[in-house]
Structure 1
């Protein structure tokens, strides 16, 4: 059993070692006629939207326009955007029409944003994302230089509470430790696609060719669905190092983090066939060694898991204080997935920002 735990720990360690080498920086000069439309779906984002707009409008190296789709906010989001738009003609406030049956909220807002955009490239970001000044230019240049339809990355995650530290780092752990090639363009199969919905730039022609967001109107995990659709349509997609491009604070505590990850779990690991396999991989490699101590192989497995986690954390520019929490992070991630699977089996809807989506809606 201790040999098994070492093997299960060595798998993500070797995968992460390769992926951290392969994960490159976005780079390249955009063509002179490039216009990047920065598209922000916003529902109840009064606490975030001003800083998001300030960062987006400070973009350099490429012409930008910024569009915000207010999705029936119940706070001051539209007023904040409207006041800022009066000062900068590059910013437009749009109002989302009522959510049609069969659509999820963010996907619908993104589809309407794309329709209104004028850009050659569409940069979808969340309202809690703060773009670096050169992010839009670098991502567009990277796409053009490499003939890549979609460029994405995981922004540097700002983590301020224990609850966030127990949940958010699982994103990079899973991508770097368990996805061959970490979403680089040479892994052309749709099943090998990856994307972070917080930060996605897509070339307009390719986006429209595969049906845009309307092609997966029921999805909650919009980024992954778009990347897979593009690859299925013969287009190249690529994950780059997102930490230099943007930062983001996804959630503000454990409860919000739990609910946020629970919402998307049904479209990822939380399937009847997939989750038992993921449980063996994650629990066997990251939790089982603790139960087998003081066996030497179990101790070696723990060293590998912590080295892996530290390397990923430092590359992603996440706080080092989250590294000792690693076993709890893996346990919480599995608990979220099993909870999502149980809720789906019981027909309980996923909810977010006052909306509930049935299992069919999120499928």
Structure 2
């Protein structure tokens, strides 16, 4: 009879191999964006709080968009304590398609900052509807960067798939070593878990995937579910908006944006830790849910490499198989996310996957601790 350790190693390796198979299938079947001319109105909403060092770059990208008949952009300055409003206005350069809306109020009870800002901007957008109908409503984070046909490509995918929401997954860029360990997990976490050919077709809320850095909505569907009120108190509002759509029978679709849309969320370990701490406590439903998920991650992605190093016989072989499969799934996910073959740096990052899992477990524990102690803050706001 196999020992409990051998059974654990084999179980972890099997799950890891499953992830590699799913990633390989997703690499062949996940939709890629392609751009065609768009004639319907497109309204872009950018919630911006303390984004003075980033907003001008995004505005420049938006001013350069092509293949769009009607484009309107609303930048909502969400009670910033820096010069976000002034920098935005200068970046508009008198372009009549752009408008700045200033909010000086704290989020209402039951709302978090981003969802409240998106709601206010969307309400403003609703007043701009012309006789051709509401068209498409796009929510963009200020740290996103776009090629000139990126918005047209997102709208093209929305209409091609007849979806209510397209989450165009950006390439996640990283600078420091800590970013390179953690950021690729965002894509990998679903890419090596869910067969997206099925997830993109079903309306099951449990199979929803979304990235709030850019969300391309059919505007009528967005307002039909009550807008961001559907996720008012959520720190993972992107997922909860997609789930709300699906509960109403709508469809959300994920497509690889690759080089068309990129984002560097955090610059260095401090901002990364604060960014993940604000929401990881809520990611798995409860502290017990977080404990179960992190235990499963440890079994799948930490036990096999340890067995590969110190195990013997078949146990060592299963450990090696699990570690290689995890590395492969990371590389496949990164190749699709980036739109290019893995670089030597990508290979090294993937090989450090066990360290990434340790880092994620640590960030999850820190998030729960900081929330319990009332220490969660983001962009100079105390989080409840």
Counterpart in the other structure of 2:58: 52
Q: Is the 8 A contact 2:281 2:290 kept in 1?
A: no
Equivalent position to 1:212, from 223, 227, 232: 227
1:335 aligns with 2:341: no
| CA distance, structure 2, for counterparts of residue 330 and residue 217 of structure 1 | 30
Q: 231, 236, 242: which is aligned to 1:221?
A: 236
Q: Classify 1:182/1:200 alpha carbon distance in 2 versus 1 (closer, same or farther; 3 Å).
A: farther
The Cα shift of 1:347 comes to 5.6
- State the alpha-carbon separation in 2 of the partners of residues 354 and 83 from structure 1: 24
RMSD (Å), alpha carbons: 1.9
Structure 1 runs, 4 residues or longer, greater than 4 Å off: none
- Give SS of 2:190's match: helix
Q: Is 2:279 the partner of 1:264?
A: yes
1:40 aligns with 2:61: no
The one of 169, 182, 188 equivalent to 2:184 is: 169
How far 1:60 sits from its partner (Å)? 0.8
Does structure 2 retain, via aligned residues, the 8 Å contact 1:65–1:91?
yes
Say whether 1:235 aligns with 2:250: yes
Report the Cα distance in structure 2 between the residues aligned to 1:94 and 1:106, rounded to whole angstroms: 15
> 1: CA distance between counterparts of 2:198 and 2:222?
18
2:305–2:322 CA contact under 8 A, matched in 1: no
**Following TM superposition, by how much is the alpha carbon of 1:120 offset from its aligned partner in structure 2, in angstroms?**
1.5
Q: How does 1:97-136 map to 2 (within 5 A)?
A: 97-99=104-106, 100-117=108-125, 118=128, 120-136=135-151
Matches within 5 A, 1:131-150: 131-150=146-165
TM-score normalised over the length of structure 2: 0.87
Q: 1:112, CA displacement in angstroms?
A: 1.1
CA distance in 1 between partners of 2:286 and 2:259 (Å): 33
1:361: which partner in 2? none
Aligned partners of 1:307, 1:54: CA distance in 2, in Å? 37
Q: Deviations over 1:185-208 (max 9, x none)?
A: 213201111110001010111001
SS in 1 for 2:71: strand
> Which residue of the partner structure matches residue 77 of structure 2?
70
With 180-189 and 190-199 compared, the bigger mean Cα shift is at: 180-189
What is the CA-CA distance between 1:26 and the residue it aligns to?
A: 2.6
Q: In the aligned structure 2, how far is the partner of 1:331 from the partner of 1:153?
A: 28
Gaps of 5+ in 2: 1-5, 129-133
Indicate the residue corresponding to 2:27 in structure 1: 20
Structure 1 partner of 2:320: 299
SS for the counterpart of 1:68 is strand
Summarize the Cα distance change of 1:187–1:338 in structure 2 as closer, same or farther, 3 Å threshold. farther
Residues 294-349 of structure 1, C-alpha deviations (whole Å, 9 max, x = no match):
411111211111111111122212851522332111111111122223444x3635
CA distance in 2, matches of 1:189, 1:334: 28
Q: CA deviation at 1:168?
A: 0.8
Distance 1:193 1:334, change over 3 A: same
| Equivalent residue pairs, number | 356
SS state at 2:182 partner: coil
Whether 1:95 and 2:102 are equivalent positions in the alignment is yes
Residue 4 of structure 1, aligned match among 1, 11, 28: 11
Describe the shift of the 1:188–1:338 C-alpha distance in structure 2 as closer, same or farther (beyond 3 A): same
- Residue aligned with 1:215, SS: helix
Q: CA deviation at 1:94?
A: 0.7
Q: 1:275 to 1:195 in 2, by over 3 A?
A: same
User: In 1, distance between residues paired with 2:80 and 2:171?
Assistant: 27
Unaligned runs of 5+ in 1: 359-363
Higher mean C-alpha deviation, range 274-283 or range 294-303? 274-283
Q: Summarize the Cα distance change of 1:256–1:284 in structure 2 as closer, same or farther, 3 Å threshold.
A: same
Spell out, residue by residue over 1:174-228, the C-alpha distance to the aligned partner (whole angstroms, 9 max, x if none): 0101234278421320111111000101011100110001222111211111111
Return the alpha-carbon distance in structure 2 between the equivalents of residues 268 and 138 of structure 1: 30
Contact kept in structure 1, 2:143 and 2:263, CA below 8 Å: yes
- Whole-angstrom CA distance in 1 between matches of 2:267 and 2:156: 33
